């Protein structure tokens, strides 16, 4: 039996909050060096308001965090006074700078050890709604994964079942042969289970209690990534 193990990234292989915080600080400095006063006029809070306005008029962008950020930068730069063509060009450069910082993650303990073990017996892949690039040198995990499905690249996001179907199809396995690991009760657990795959809820340190409002339970729950090899084996026929 062929088995595909897919992983969420943010808050499954690393804590995303400090990554985004560092990246936002880096962007404030980037903008301020080039356009003094920009960061004061367009603080993180102000850019969040722009983001909400953009999504209210273009809800179809909700799955594409990269496109939304680019649109925010363009609008903010135009409001700051840059001509449209220059604003578009600068926004593209700003996005590239952000994406570089976005990859500077600090892996949770045991991530590499567990992937080393799993890679011996299973095909591994990524399914993420974020814009982290698992093959980027800063992340340093590309050698363990066969491919990555990113919402901003395929135009569909978890918990939509089709994103899991895409992963299964890429690996040449039936959806019933896919086991997805992630921290999010809806995007990861409900999404993969609803698609017909098996789900493993990564409830780090057992810090959360399952809420009935989240829907059906996962096929398994782990509190440490070290539990994964044994749990995956238990889910196989």
Domains of the chain: 4-15+106-235 (3.40.50.1000), 17-102 (1.20.120.1600)
Nearest CA to 50 out of 31, 75, 81 is that of: 75
Tokens, residue 153: 């690249």
pLDDT score of 1: 58
Q: Please give the share of the chain, as a percent, with pLDDT higher than 90.
A: 85
Average pLDDT of the residues in 180-187: 96
Average pLDDT of the residues in 78-96: 96
d(CA 167, CA 148): 8
Bridge partners of 147?
Answer: 125
Confidence band, pLDDT 50/70/90 cuts, at residue 232: very high
d(CA 83, CA 193): 48
d(CA 170, CA 125): 10
Q: What is the pLDDT of residues 101-131, one digit of tens each?
A: 999 999 999 999 999 999 999 999 999 999 9
Residue pointed to by tokens 């040198």: 137
pLDDT score of 216: 78
Read off the pTM. Answer: 0.92
Tokens, residue 79: 């409001």
pLDDT score of 39: 86
Q: What is the pLDDT of residues 23-33, one digit of tens each?
A: 999 999 999 99
């Amino acid at each position: 039996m062929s088995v595909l193990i897919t992983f969420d990234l943010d808050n499954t292989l690393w804590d995303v909050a400090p990554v985004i915080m560092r990246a936002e600080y880096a962007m404030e400095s980037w903008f301020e060096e080039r356009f003094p006063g920009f960061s004061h006029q367009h603080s993180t809070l102000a850019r969040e308001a722009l983001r909400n306005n953009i999504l209210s008029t273009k809800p179809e962008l909700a799955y594409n965090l990269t496109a939304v950020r680019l649109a925010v930068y363009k609008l903010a730069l135009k409001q700051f006074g840059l001509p449209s063509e220059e604003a578009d060009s600068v926004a593209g450069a700003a996005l590239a700078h952000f994406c570089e910082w976005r990859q500077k993650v600090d892996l949770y303990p045991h991530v590499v050890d567990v992937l080393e073990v799993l890679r011996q017996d299973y095909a591994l892949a990524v399914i993420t709604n974020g814009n982290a690039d698992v093959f980027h040198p800063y992340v340093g995990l590309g050698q363990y994964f066969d491919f990555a499905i990113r919402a901003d690249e395929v135009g569909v996001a978890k918990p939509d079942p089709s994103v899991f179907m895409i992963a299964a199809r890429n690996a040449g396995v039936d959806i019933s042969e896919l086991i997805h690991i992630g921290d999010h009760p809806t995007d990861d657990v409900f999404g993969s289970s609803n698609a017909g795959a098996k789900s493993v809820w990564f409830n780090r340190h057992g810090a959360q209690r399952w809420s009935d409002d989240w829907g059906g339970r996962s096929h398994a729950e782990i509190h440490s990534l070290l539990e994964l090899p044994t749990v995956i084996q238990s889910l196989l026929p």
